Amino acid sequence: MICVLGEPEDRDVLWLAAALQRRGEDVQFVLPEELRIGAALTCRIDSAAVTSSLRLHDGRVIEADTPCLIVNRLVDLPVPVEGGSPADARYLAEEWRAATAAWLRTMRCPVLNPPRAAFLAGPVMPEPAWRAVASAHGVRVRPWRSDRATEAADPVQLICLGARCIDPTGSAPAGLAASLAAMARYTGTPLLGATFDRADGSWELVAATPRPPLEAAGAALVDAVIAHARAFGCRS
């Protein structure tokens, strides 16, 4: 099973879910509202292990040891509007957000991408920080200037999924895929997007994100997601 978590406005994740279904995969799409409304989430922590179970309103159950791959594109969970004061609603939303993050962190299957304290779908860092991390892992970066933060005269978007680098041009410099994979491991971002400027043949990184555009990667990304699931024992 491939479990896809995402907003209905996220056209890229909708495309990916549909493309996986066309390939015969068992895809379970879960909306943010379904994680809160009518759902039951249980986490148990003891000296032996941490376990969890999520039961959705329609009866679907996803447990910590469910054999699946989770594609996590959540931005946030909806603030409840029923009853209570606005402050109560915000508090409840934060509690559900924390519980969802804990559930994703207890899953024993691969999660693309695991949540962080500030963002449900992976690390959020300012562009200078991403460039510093990239430079430390051997990726050539554009020197930071706030007036041309992510401008690119000849842009190309690469997607790193595990050890795979999806390059629509097929012309990335030798060693770049390995450097991006190391950068993804360091930041805890198994699915990492990176934008490069190829002007003058320099391939300088200008931006990175845990929520890259997906559809442009096409069949190569679908193949990579399926292969990633298979590598961890997930079967359709």
Backbone angles phi, psi at 134, to 5 degrees: -60, -45
- What tens digit of pLDDT does each residue of 7-18 get? 999 999 999 999
Question: Residue 220's pLDDT is what?
Answer: 95
Second CATH level (architecture) for the domain 2-112:
3-Layer(aba) Sandwich (3.40)
Neighbour tally for 3: CB within 10 Å: 23
How do beta strands 191-197 and 155-161 pair?
A: antiparallel
Question: Is residue 47's pLDDT more than 60?
Answer: yes
Token output for 112:
């693309």
What pLDDT, on the 0 to 100 scale, is given for residue 38? 86
In single-letter form, the type of residue at position 213 comes to P
**pLDDT reported for residue 82:** 66
The per-residue pLDDT for 148 is: 61
Q: What are phi and psi of 62, to 5 degrees?
A: -125, 115
Longest pairwise C-alpha distance within the chain: 59
Average pLDDT of the chain to the nearest whole number: 89
**How distant, in Å, are the alpha carbons of 107, 157, 219 from that of 167?**
30, 7, 12
* Residue 78 scores a pLDDT above 80: no
Mean pLDDT calculated for residue range 196-225: 92
User: Does residue 235 carry a pLDDT above 60?
Assistant: no
- How much is the pLDDT for 147? 60
DSSP state of 118: S
Enumerate helices (H) and strands (E) in the chain, giving the number of each: 6, 11
32, with CB counted inside 10 A (0-12, 13-18, 19+), is buried
How far apart are the C-alpha atoms of 193 and 183, rounded to whole Å? 11
Question: What pLDDT is attached to residue 81?
Answer: 67
What the block records as the tokens of 28 is: 């379970």
- 188 dihedral zone (left: phi>0; alpha: psi -120 to 50; beta): left
Structure tokens at 223: 């193949």
Instruction: Sketch the domain layout of the chain as residue ranges.
Output: 2-112, 127-209
Position 236 pLDDT exceeds 70: no
| In the predicted structure, residue 156 carries a pLDDT above the cut 70 | yes
- Residue type for 98, please? A
Nearest to 156, CA basis, from 147, 165, 146: 165
With a pLDDT cut of 90, the percent of the chain lying above it is 53
pLDDT of 149: 59
- What is the reported pTM? 0.89
pLDDT value of residue 99: 87
